Amino acid sequence: MNILIIGGTGIISTYVVRKCLDMGMDVTVMNRGTNNASLPKDVRIIEGDINNEKEAASLLKGRYFDSVMQFVAFTQDHVKRDVRLFKDKTDQYIFISSASAYHKPVEDYPITEDTSLHNPYWDYSQNKIACEDYLNSVQDLNITIVRPSHTYNNKMIMAVMTRWQFDYAHIKRLIDGKPIIIPGDGTSLWTITHALDFANSFAYLIGNKKAYNDVFHITGNKVYTWEQLTQIMAKALGVKANIVHIPSDVIIKHMPEMEGPLLGDKAWSALFDNTKIKSISKEYTSNVGYEDVVDEVIHYYKTHEEVQKISEDYEALYDKLIALYQH
C-alpha cells in the first residue's frame, strides 16, 4: 500500500510512520524538512510546505496514494486546500481531529463517536469541529476522521496547569518544592494514550473501506486523576508534591488563558467507549502507562537545555493566584 503522511515527525505521526513500515506499507512523508533526520531510512520524503498550495501542487504532480493522512491541519481553510490537492490523488483522506471537540460540558459517559460536538471554550476545538463539518459535506473523496485524546510519547510532561511550550516549569516547580495547582478537588478522571498504542489501532483504518466516510476516536484504557499523574512525576523525581486545589472558575478568573485548556478540555472527566475502533483494529492495545515512561521524560528534559524553558510572566500569575486563593 502506497501512503502519504503529511507531517510524520510529530508525537503521534512518528509512531504511525514506524507502524506502517512494520506492516509493509510504502511510506512517503511530506513536511518542511526540519526534523527528518529522525525518520527511518525506508521513508520517502517530499520536502515542502503544504501551506503553500502552489508549491505543494507542483511537488505532488503525477503522484497517487492509496491513502493520505493529514496530521497538521487545524483550520477549515487547511482541509479545503487539502481537498483541492488530493481529491484526484488518493482513495482515502484521513483527517486527525481531536476528542476535545466533544460536547463541553460533558453530557454523558462514556463518550462515543455519536456524542455531539460542541466546545464554546476553546478555539482549537472549534476549528477542528469546523474542519469536520466541511469534510462531512465533501462528496467526491472518501474521508476518515480520527479523534485522538491526549496522546503522548516519552518526552511529554503530564501537567494540567502549564503554558504551551513551557511545560518544563512543572518539573521545576516540583523540584523546587513550589505548589502545584490541580483544578477542582483532584478527582476528575483523565484518559491518556501512548502514541505506540494509538498507532497499533490507527494503522488498520488505512485503506480500509469499512473506515471510509466514518469517524473513530482512538484512546487507551489508561485512566488517571491529575493528582495521580502529578504524584507519578514527583515520585520519579524523588520529591514530595505540594498540591493545591483551586476551582477552575477561580483559576480562569485570574488566568483567562486557561479557559480553553481547562473548560474546553482538561477540567472534565474523559472516559471513552472504544468499541468502534476495536471492531476495525486487529491489534488494539492499551499497554503503556505514564509510570512506564516518566523516567525517560525526566531524562529528556534534564539532558536537553533547549526545552528547559520557563515563562516568567506565567509563573508570576501562577504564584499570585495561589497567594490570593490561600489568603
Rounded Cα distance between 227 and 294, Å, is 15
164 residue type, one letter:
W
Section 79-83 average pLDDT:
98
Right CATH number for 2-152+192-218 from 3.20.20.140, 3.40.50.720, 3.90.245.10, 3.40.190.10?
3.40.50.720
Mean pLDDT lowest among 13-17, 37-41, 53-57, 293-297? 37-41
Which regions of the chain does DSSP assign to beta strands (E)?
2-6, 26-31, 44-47, 67-70, 93-96, 143-148, 151-152, 180-183, 189-194, 214-218, 222-225, 243-246
pLDDT at 37: 87
Per-residue pLDDT of 105-146, as tens digits, reads: 999 999 999 999 999 999 999 999 999 999 999 999 999 999
Q: What are the Cα distances from residue 181, in Å, to 94, 173, 178?
A: 37, 10, 10
**How far, in Å, are 132, 162, 256, 302 from residue 309 at the CA level?**
34, 12, 21, 12
Q: Is pLDDT at 327 greater than 80 in this prediction?
A: no
> Residue 34 — pLDDT band, cuts 50, 70, 90?
confident
User: Rounded to two decimals, what is the model's pTM?
Assistant: 0.96
State the amino acid at position 43 in one-letter form.
V
Select 168-191+224-270+288-326's CATH number: 3.90.25, 2.40.128, 3.20.14, 2.20.100.
Answer: 3.90.25
At residue 22, does pLDDT exceed 80?
A: yes
Structural domain boundaries in the chain:
2-152+192-218, 168-191+224-270+288-326
Q: At 225, is the secondary structure helix, strand, or coil?
A: strand
Compute the average pLDDT of residues 197-222: 97
**What proportion of the chain, given as a percentage, has pLDDT over 70?**
100
